[in-house]
Structure 1
Amino acid sequence: MEKECSTREPKWRSYFIDLYESLKISVKLLLIFLMCFNFFQTDFTRLLNLKSNVNESIAEVSNDTRTRIFCLIFTNEYGNNYIAVHGQATWIKNCDRYLFVSNDVHAVLEPLLVKYRDRWDTMKVSLFHVHQYYANDLDWLLMVYDNNYVVLENLRKMLKPYSPDEPINFGCKMWDNDNQTYMHGGIVLSHEALRRLVVEGFTNSSLCNPNDSAYASEEMGKCLKNLGVVDGDSRDAMGRQRFIPFPPEHFLTELSPEKEEWFVTHSFYEINATTNKLSPEAISFSDVSPATMVTLHYYIYKLRIFGRKVLPQNVTNHLGNNTQLS
């Protein structure tokens, strides 16, 4: 019997030793996997995972009192994964509600499906949908493309003096080739402007073009004028654009007329030595790359500068008018 027990003991010991060694290997493999996952995690994701540390007072405002902005974002099969997902992960989170419009399905974006991205028919279908299903959930409607970056807090500040019951729209005001005005760089419609478009305009061919057109923004401008919707002035106190039809780097020093001749010649407002600077109250940037979008979001909402006070508005304006980057 003693002999039999002595032969069994090494087998049990060997079993536990093998189990212990297997567990050690599993733990090591798990640690290696976690290290590799952290190493290969994209810079975009790292930036977006940082805790926000500004605009906390705005986030604490009751949804019953603050301006409700519905964001309508137009994208397509290419933009869905290229840039729209980055917009959804950054600035679009600050919309009260939002809806993507695309010509292709996407499991994350869950867009309203249309045939084209930027045609007049697409815009009409999208606005019909928003008015039918979300009219009671919005005060203002913001329409942008997937490559726009929008600072919603600045938009709310600009809209504060206005009522959503006014027939008014905002954006970067431009002249088209027929000497009609339209909004560029993003379009903001009041609740009443949206109602007039859908209820009165889209059902009346004498007020709004019933046919499709490649120039959706221009057709929108003509339709709004026929409906008595006025153009709001979205510029800051110094006359600088807040809806900027370029990436931010185009405006950081000053606008180059040679490079952006179409904007200088078609802008409704004069572009001069003051108005060609970047406004500290900027609301929207256009043609923004995914990298610039995430970088902007980091600088605006994540970056902390300890011990530095915010400059008074008059000082900011002074620097904005006279300081150029070398």
Structure 2
Amino acid sequence: MDGEYITVENPSAFGAASSGKLRAAPRIRTNHLALLTLLLVSLVIILYAYWDVMVLTAGALPLARVAISSSRDPNDSNETLAEQLYREVRILCWVLTTPKYHKTRAVHVLRTWGKRCNKIYFMTSEPDDELPTVVLTKPDKYEVLWGKTKEAFTHIHEQMRDQADWFLKADDDTYVFLENLRYMLYPYSPETSIYFGFNYKMVGNHQKNESYMSGGSGYVLSREALRIFAEGQNDTTKCRQEDDHAEDVEMGRCLFNLGVKAGDSRDGQLRNRFYPVAPFVALLSGNMGLDFWLYKYAYYNARSCMDCLSEYPVAFHYVNNEQLYVYEYFNYQFQLAGRQQVPERLPKRIREEDLVIPESDNTVT
């Protein structure tokens, strides 16, 4: 015999031959069995590797259902609210980053919340094959963030203003819920000169009701606000021409002087939707004392309690790359058995002439 065999014999399963002897059961070579096992194992490994690659790279691609929704019939009854908002409230996101953070921060933004922007660009000083980058001329220095912000918004206005209705600036350690941002922006026309974020009080000498938006949790300009800024930021009487000083403060001062409204981003119960720190600061009253800087500088009274943060938050700051995926899981994959679904309706449109922006109510000094 030229090989070993495994003989399978079961008298109850095989009939007797006419000679009264049992027929020999099928015999399988052990080397054939080993080869078959090896092929099956290889197939499993290949399929698992393919699945793993698809999972890792999926974040860098637009969501399939969202991409499809942008070309759907507006009367399609199967369209979700998020898909309708994606189509009707177009947001261009731009993220301020540097080459040293491309792989540790920026790419993870692209794989998480960034894929839900209608368009997204990373403003940096060097190109990157993994990222849709715009290379700025300003140096990679914290001291010139204001200069980089001016250059970025000017470039967007000159080259990309037709790609969106609203234009969001965010840092590479920010997490943004695009669906909630679109929901918040839906009532406002992009032709209204307004911008939104987490409002801070101006310190020192300033005009009445002058405020600025936190650069950390991001701020979003309407198309009209973008135009006014791009065309007016060279006015030396209204906007700082030097590149230094705090970017968000100078942006707020410049937009205020140009007549762009600082919108109130809080929800109907006056709860914050943009937040310049982690969620627990807003939720746990005993975590911070009244001398915490946020309570002092917030334009609107900042409180901490389990009901003080909006149920539809828009953005948080100081989110590292690991936390980006935690936010992603608990908001786009996590399911709670038995949770009652809340009916969602689009808010009413607000005419510019009916727009009312409350004054500051924060008396903490």
Give the TM interval when normalised to the shorter protein: 0.7 to 0.9
Measure how far apart 1:247 and its partner are: 1.9
TM-score, normalization by structure 1: 0.77
1:174 to 200, 206, 210: 200
* Equivalent residue, structure 2, for 1:112: 134
1:194 corresponds to 2:216 = no
2:282 touches 2:305 (CA, 8 Å); kept in 1? no
1:276 to partner: Cα distance: 7.8
In the alignment, which of 163, 170, 177 is matched to residue 137 of structure 1? 163
CA contact (8 A) 1:253 1:277 kept: no
Q: Structure 1, residues 206-252: CA drift from partner, whole Å, max 9, x if none?
A: 22111111411111011001100111000112222110111223334
Shift of 1:157: 1.3
2:84 counterpart SS class: coil
8 Å contact kept, 2:198–2:275: yes
Return the structure number with greater helix share.
Answer: 1
Separation (CA, whole Å) in 1 of partners of 2:123 and 2:286:
32
- Decide whether the 8 Å contact of 2:82 with 2:179 is kept in 1: no
Residue 16 of structure 2 is matched in structure 1 by none
Number of the residue aligned with 2:80: 57
State the Cα deviation string for residues 111-169 of structure 1 (Å, max 9, x = none): 11232365111011111110011111221111100111111111111112211111111
**Shift in CA distance, 258/193, structure 1 to aligned 2, threshold 3 Å:** same
Gaps of 5+ in 2: 3-28, 70-78, 345-365
Structure 1 unaligned segments of length 5 or more: list them: 1-9, 11-16, 314-326
Question: Once the two structures are superposed, what CA deviation does each residue of 1:23-71 show, in whole Å capped at 9, x if it has no partner?
Answer: 76974784585498599x69x949969x9999960354286x5111111
RMSD between superposed Cα atoms in Å: 3.6
- Superposition TM-score, scaled by structure 2 size: 0.69
Structure 2 matches for 1:230-269, cutoff 5 A?
A: 230-254=261-285, 256-258=287-289, 261-269=292-300
Pairs aligned (count): 292
* DSSP-derived class of the 2:213 partner: strand
Which residue identity is paired with 1:294?
Answer: Y
The 8 Å contact of residues 75 and 117 in structure 1, kept in 2 or not, is answered as no
Instruction: Give the partner amino acid of 1:102.
Output: T
Task: Tell which has more relative contact order, 1 or 2 (C-alpha 8 A, sep 6+).
Answer: 1
1:174/1:268 contact within 8 Å kept:
yes
The CA distance in 2 between the partners of 1:266 and 1:276, in whole Å, is 21
Percent of pairs identical after alignment?
30
Q: SS of 2:88's equivalent? A: coil
Contact 1:52–1:301, Cα closer than 8 Å, also in 2: no
CA distance in 1 between counterparts of 2:97 and 2:243 reads: 18
